[in-house]
Homo-oligomer: A and B are copies of this chain.
Amino acid sequence: MRDDISEEELERQRALYGPFTQSVRDLLDAVIRTEVDDDEVRAVQAEVELLTQRLRKQQLDGPYGVRFSASGRGRPWGNPVVGLRNAAAPPVEVERDPSGRAWASFHLGAAFEGPPGLVHGGMAAMILDQMLGEAAGAGGKPGMTGTLTLRYRRGTPLGDLRAEAWIDRTEGIKTWARGQLMDAEGVTVEAEGLFILPKWARERLARTDGSPSYFE
């Protein structure tokens, strides 16, 4: 969706929603780890419900979607990996290079645990799916995931991590990308994926200038 907001408005929204979402992310971590007594849990729950009511007084009818500002910058703010307004996202702040590379450093805490002390294998898959898609988009070859293969070399410890991805090769509407998740000791998970530009997106791209990295 193209809402054509200005760069100033974009920055205003970032400055408002970024810290707000971070505060809810902290709450989410505390909900997993708290050991306060039952009455206090119930009291906090009642307060949370009141806050939700306040936020819902005026809200979007459905999900956030991906919105585009006047400059063409996409805002996938509901995205569970990179979304600025999604408190379930780490969030992963992706850096990108037009050669078709993407990389990011981030921290995964209690909300991303699978086996004790380790990152959920599926969370590693979700982050790598996003990173491979970001690399494809950065290289002007956005696509939806067609296939994705993960190889888990060892458990990924919760904590400070890094992920990187790059375009391996392209062939028409198909882009193959590869990537890896790493801790301080090296690679923990490797990924390879095929990204395909769907027909509806090809038709939309044909009507616009440039190559947006996300779908509208």
Contacts and interface: CB of A to CB of B under 8 A. Distances in A.
A210 interface: no
A156 B73 CA distance: 25
A8 interface: no
Contact of A16 (B38, B51, B59, B148): B38
A40 B122 CA distance: 36
B32 A77 contact: yes
B80 A112 contact: yes
Contacts of A83: 32
A31 B36 contact: no
Contacts of A207: none
A120 to B, nearest CB: 5
A149 B114 CA distance: 19
A215 B115 contact: yes
A165 to B, nearest CB: 12
A17 interface: yes
B31 A110 contact: no
